[in-house]
């Protein structure tokens, strides 16, 4: 396996003022978590916390960062309670190309929604989605996509939504890889999550995707508990069932659009501390990485570049 990753340390202060992230300087070639690879790397795994990473500048930057921030004798030492590391999800921790998994979920949910509201069958964009015409679906404008997200992600109870997502994840398969979406994670990044946690870092997902959606599987897939998933979040409404039991309904009211500037805003809302390390892959992660590196003391910011069409997809730099 070959990986190179660019790193941007705190001292390169001119970076935060730039409009565009120089993505070409941040290169990482990724591979899936294929069980065979785990077997071949087992021998070195005991001593090397990042066995699927090449011994390059990227790996060295990570190891140097972790050693400096966890060594009490180092001037770069970071107290354990301040060791926060944030990760974008789509394209950083798992495959998001050519279409976000959550969008696939929403499109798949449309028939069930139309079943409860038959009047939608003749209304756009639901009519197009029900037609199954992939090209037409891909051409739907953003406003129509928002209608589909609202119809499939809100209106039900929080518990019902969790059950629906779990059921879908168990059955759905990626059309190219013929595997559950929850298996399409990047092994080097999973190793990185574990390595940081083993060194006292609290790992968070900070995703433009739906907070409630990602929380359903984040613990099982990434070892990240629901309370450490920050994402695009809508309001809920407290109410009572006929038997008096209270429940929460997912409302079509946006509280946090956790992308671009929404990422540092979401980090402040949900965590209340500035991360010491942040990892992303797109312009939507720019502000999160800027905000991270602008803090005092040692900071690490990295971008994943997708340039391996054979083992994944090649679509970067944007």
Chain residues in the site for a copy of itself (CB under 8 A): 16-17, 81, 84, 158, 202, 211-212, 215, 219, 225-227, 229, 233, 235-238, 240, 244-248, 255-256, 261-262, 264-265, 268-273, 287, 290-291, 294
Minimum distance, C-beta of residue 283 to a copy of itself, in the bound complex (Å): 14
86-110 residues labelled b (16+ CB within 10 A) or e (exposed)? bbbbbbbbbbbeeebbbbebbbebb
Give the nearer residue to a copy of itself in terms of CB position, either 81 or 135: 81
Nearer to a copy of itself (CB atom), residue 247 or residue 315: 247
The residue (of 284 and 316) whose beta carbon lies closer to a copy of itself is: 284
Q: State in angstroms the smallest separation of the CB of 240 from a copy of itself.
A: 8
CB of 212 to a copy of itself, least distance (A): 7
**Residue 18 Cβ vs a copy of itself, minimum distance, rounded to whole Å:** 9
CB of 80 to a copy of itself, least distance (A): 10
Torsion of CA 125, 130, 136, 137, to 10 degrees: 70
Cα–Cα distance between 162 and 168 in angstroms, integer? 10
DSSP codes, the chain: ------EEETT-GGGGG-SS--GGG------B--HHHHHHTHHHHTT-S-TTS-SSHHHHHHHHHHHHHH-TTSTT---GGG-EEEE--BTTTB---SS-HHHHHHHHHHHHHHHH-GGGGGSTTHHHHHHT-HHHHHT--HHHHHHHHHHHHSSSBHHHHHHHHHHHHHH---TTT-S-GGG-BBHHHHHHHHHHHHTTPEEEEEEEEEHHHHHHHHHHHHS--GGGEEEEEEEEEEEE-TTS-EEEEEEEEEEE--STTHHHHHHHHHT-S--SEEEE-SGGGHHHHHHHHTSSS--EEEE---B-TTTS-B----
Query: Of 72 and 242, which CB lies nearer to a copy of itself in the complex structure?
Result: 242
Nearer to a copy of itself, 84 or 192 (CB): 84
Nearer to a copy of itself, 187 or 216 (CB): 216
Task: Write down the least CB distance from residue 277 to a copy of itself, Å.
Answer: 16
With respect to a copy of itself, which residue has the nearer C-beta, 75 or 244? 244
- Least Å distance, CB 256 to a copy of itself, is 7
Quote the least distance from Cβ 34 to a copy of itself, whole Å: 28
> Of the two residues 189 and 256, which places its CB atom closer to a copy of itself in the complex?
256
């Amino acid at each position: 396996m070959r990986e190179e990753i660019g790193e941007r340390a705190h001292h390169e202060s001119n970076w935060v003022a730039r409009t565009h992230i120089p993505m070409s300087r941040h290169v990482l070639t990724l591979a899936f978590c294929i069980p065979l690879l785990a077997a071949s790397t087992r021998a070195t795994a005991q001593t090397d916390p990042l066995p699927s990473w090449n011994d390059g500048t990227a790996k060295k930057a990570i190891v140097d960062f972790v050693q400096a921030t966890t060594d009490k004798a180092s001037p770069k030492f970071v107290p354990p309670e301040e060791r926060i590391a944030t990760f974008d999800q789509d394209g950083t921790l798992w495959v998001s190309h050519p279409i976000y998994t959550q969008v696939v979920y929403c499109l798949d949910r449309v028939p069930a929604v139309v079943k409860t509201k038959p009047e939608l069958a003749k209304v756009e964009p639901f009519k197009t989605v029900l037609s199954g015409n992939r090209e037409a679906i891909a051409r739907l404008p953003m406003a129509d996509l928002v209608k589909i997200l609202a119809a499939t992600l809100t209106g039900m109870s929080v518990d019902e939504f969790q059950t629906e997502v779990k059921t879908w994840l168990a059955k759905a398969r990626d059309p190219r890889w013929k595997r559950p979406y929850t298996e399409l994670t990047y092994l080097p990044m999973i190793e990185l999550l574990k390595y940081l946690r083993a060194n006292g870092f609290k790992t968070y997902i900070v995703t433009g995707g739906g907070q409630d959606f990602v929380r359903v599987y984040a613990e099982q897939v990434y070892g990240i508990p629901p309370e450490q998933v920050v994402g695009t979040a809508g309001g809920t409404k407290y109410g009572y069932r006929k038997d008096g039991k209270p429940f929460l309904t997912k409302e079509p009211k946006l509280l946090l659009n956790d992308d671009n500037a929404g990422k540092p805003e979401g980090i402040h809302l949900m965590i209340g501390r500035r991360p010491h390390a942040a990892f992303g892959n797109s312009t939507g992660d720019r502000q999160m990485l800027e905000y991270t590196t602008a803090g005092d003391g040692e900071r690490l910011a990295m971008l994943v570049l997708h340039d391996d069409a054979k083992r994944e997809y090649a679509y970067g730099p944007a």
